[in-house]
Amino acid sequence: MELGNFRQRWQISDCDLITTFQSRLGPTEWLKPYTEDTVIELAKRGVKRIMVIAPGFFSDCLETMNELKLELADSFRKHGGEEYVYVPCLNDSTEAIDILESLSRKHIQCFL
């Protein structure tokens, strides 16, 4: 789903939804804005509550569980934020299994 469709479906204004980029490693320039920098800036500007979703990850891993769920929450609170919510990835949910099954059935046809 495109970002515009997501905003329309959930009635979210442009001000309420920010796309940032995770996974930078080392001194190499990465896609911006960086997630951590953005979250810290929001806290400094007085934003008290945020929710973080990582749609680029199908299942939680060290990066989502450590960096996004724990470290980013600490940074947000350290800079004045109060409520930080991390939305877990699909993981082994029924919805995730249904998606994998649907994709598998669709693509397995070329092997039959």
The mean-pLDDT minimum among 9-13, 47-51, 91-95, 99-103 falls in 9-13
Range of the domain at 33: 3-111
Using a 10 angstrom Cβ sphere, with 0-12 exposed, 13-18 middle and 19 or more buried, the burial of residue 68 is buried
In this prediction, residue 41 carries a pLDDT of 98
> What is the model's pTM?
0.78
Give the model's pLDDT for residue 84: 96
**What confidence score (pLDDT) does residue 89 get?**
94
Q: Quote the number of domains for the chain.
A: 1
The number of CA neighbours under 13 Å toward the Cβ of 41 is 8
pLDDT tens-digit map of 11-61? 777 667 899 998 777 788 889 999 999 999 999 999 999 999 998 899 999
CATH of the domain at 16: 3.40.50.1400
